[in-house]
Structure 1
């Protein structure tokens, strides 16, 4: 058994083949301490709990800054990335720059919302996500003086390919006065990412802790560039002016400084209590960004090797062998004739995976053993 699995007994990770790590990882047992602490603070302080809740939110922001390698970043928090995307889009000048550039490989949060905006007359340019090696350059070519924002993922959610060249894309956006929005949700905790290292000082970075960081639901964030303090998002809640509520209303909506400029309204702080405790657990276990990448790369390489040894019919299931495993994120994406059918068949054998379109995704996690990875791939051979 993987020794780390002893900290995940409530999710029974040593007993089950949970290969849904890219979609939802198990929570460590200590996460329940955060859940209970949220209840205890509410019971003790009633409405006075918000000072303690704010402190937990600050712990989450501090943890996010660590994953971004951006210690001074302004961080807005939200219950979902969609919530944060709406606040961001509402701050942009789409009236005078009604053009958005994105890819056909974005997660449904962007895919659905941008498609709906296109139905209302916003020009949306969909750049093919493949080949990933040239994606950033092709996005830069589509960026012009009418472009309001360019939106792209660091790791493509369906194929697991890592998108490089973001510094050059950021420079192109700056030249044209466009915003760059990088979705790092599928990178943090499993693939290399650094705001300064990627040249993203002037970019917005979107993400959350539901996947590799094991924070659970309700823990999403938006990293703000410095010029965000000059913007006035249309969609915000009363928490965005929390510090000035006792003053006289001026007739013009006011905004807080920092990440709270993009804040929402009353929320359930339990998610932040849980995330703060899990973040401390990661620190206690030495689960740093570099360590988690080392574990993930080893596991996905092992899965790929086991898959290749099966020698399954490529017309039924195959994988991208055009790049080394270092070019991929935290899961093995298998292209299938019937990904959903294979996913369901694997579930019937006790192997939890997930599928998106034609891709079946095997997502390992740091608490799984090599034997579990081998057993899961053997099950794939059986169902095929």
Structure 2
């Protein structure tokens, strides 16, 4: 129904069935014009480019994101080129002169997991990773961990990247200690799985970006910062000088708004693309609830077609799921081994079906550029 929005990508790959949209999502055609608009604005404004971006484009992006997440404080969103900047900036706001204890899961994306695992090699960093499986007991086990000890940071995903399982973050936030930074990684749920942040917007940090389901491509990530936050991250940059600073004596000053988490010079073309995509979705009546319903219908059709072929590996028995009515936009199958999974991914690619895997987990992603014909053709190539 919405394949026409992605004409340039589909025409560039006419024989490819792209079912890795959770990894590298096709971009709508409007992002090309947005990319050119960024160039034109750079030529038009030259030295005044930053003034235009921060006074016009940033507030525009903040408003669009806030509408999706139902946030009241749109000005509490700050941007960076990748989530790793935010991850490390958040960690650098903790007191490293004392023992640092971080509670998380065993299913976090590499931007966080690799960094926190490296820090855990230091004697004064302790990281506890709660297994997400079995998922039917995950929330209880995570709650018990929150209550069992004192933490300096709590970090977990809304949708886990290696399974598609959806975490009830609102439940966990309500049970979390109020004086500990609670960070939600929303990268695999933003513009895919509905989330109303308004009830918890005073307590949570939320990090996401445009590379996945927001469909704006790389280079534009964002962090929502609770309004009462007064942090002084060690990892800081000159963008933090753009707001009114608060300081005592000779200490380095920090803004009291979201820009306390700002970094430095970045390429804002990604923001232009993100704005264009979100505005197009609004014009098309594609709010996140409608998008989620469309993808759920495609996933159900995929599973119905899959049941007809009786594949020895890719079948309902190997599907990781909790509740497909509340699931991410990719389906994950846990196969017998990493080698078997990698081999199947390669074989499907030779047949024109693009998927991907994480270890022994095979993932099929679904986008608005898939129709019924694509779904049936994909199953036939497994």
Q: Fold match, TM over 0.5? A: yes
Are positions 1:292 and 2:291 aligned together? yes
1:199-214 alignment to 2 at 5 Å?
199=200, 201-214=202-215
Classify 1:235/1:248 alpha carbon distance in 2 versus 1 (closer, same or farther; 3 Å): closer
- 3-state SS of 1:308 partner: helix
- 3-state SS of 2:332 partner: strand
Please give the per-residue CA displacement for 1:274-306, whole angstroms capped at 9, x wherever unaligned: 111112111111110111111111111111222
Are positions 1:105 and 2:81 aligned together? no
CA distance in 2, matches of 1:237, 1:321: 41
Are the equivalent residues in 1 in contact too, given 2:45–2:52 (CA < 8 A)? Answer: no
CA distance in 2, matches of 1:372, 1:170: 39
Counterpart of 1:47 in structure 2 is 47
- 3-state SS of 2:112 partner: helix
- 3-state SS of 2:224 partner: strand
CA deviation after TM superposition for structure 1 residue 26, in Å: 1.0
Which shifted more, 367-376 or 67-76? 67-76
CA distance in 1, matches of 2:380, 2:365: 15
CA deviation after TM superposition for structure 1 residue 371, in Å: 0.9
CA deviation after TM superposition for structure 1 residue 145, in Å: 5.0
Are positions 1:238 and 2:241 aligned together? no
CA distance in 1, matches of 2:68, 2:220: 14
Are the equivalent residues in 1 in contact too, given 2:334–2:361 (CA < 8 A)? Answer: yes
CA distance in 2, matches of 1:186, 1:248: 37
RMSD between aligned residues: 2.3
Are positions 1:33 and 2:41 aligned together? no
Counterpart of 2:57 in structure 1 is 56
Are positions 1:142 and 2:171 aligned together? no
Are the equivalent residues in 1 in contact too, given 2:186–2:208 (CA < 8 A)? Answer: yes
1:17-96 alignment to 2 at 5 Å?
17-54=17-54, 55-73=56-74, 74-96=76-98
Are the equivalent residues in 2 in contact too, given 1:189–1:213 (CA < 8 A)? Answer: yes
CA deviation after TM superposition for structure 1 residue 349, in Å: 0.9
Classify 1:40/1:320 alpha carbon distance in 2 versus 1 (closer, same or farther; 3 Å): same
Please point out which of 115, 118, 130 is paired with 1:116.
118
CA distance in 2, matches of 1:357, 1:269: 34
Classify 1:321/1:51 alpha carbon distance in 2 versus 1 (closer, same or farther; 3 Å): closer
Please give the per-residue CA displacement for 1:322-368, whole angstroms capped at 9, x wherever unaligned: 63311321111112232221111111111111111111111110121
CA deviation after TM superposition for structure 1 residue 314, in Å: 4.3
CA deviation after TM superposition for structure 1 residue 35, in Å: 0.8
Which shifted more, 188-197 or 282-291? 188-197
- 3-state SS of 2:127 partner: strand
Are the equivalent residues in 1 in contact too, given 2:164–2:321 (CA < 8 A)? Answer: no
Where in structure 2 are there 5+ consecutive unaligned residues? none
Are the equivalent residues in 2 in contact too, given 1:170–1:200 (CA < 8 A)? Answer: no
CA distance in 2, matches of 1:314, 1:148: 42
Are positions 1:154 and 2:158 aligned together? yes
- 3-state SS of 1:38 partner: helix
Classify 1:342/1:200 alpha carbon distance in 2 versus 1 (closer, same or farther; 3 Å): farther
Counterpart of 2:173 in structure 1 is 170
CA deviation after TM superposition for structure 1 residue 62, in Å: 1.5
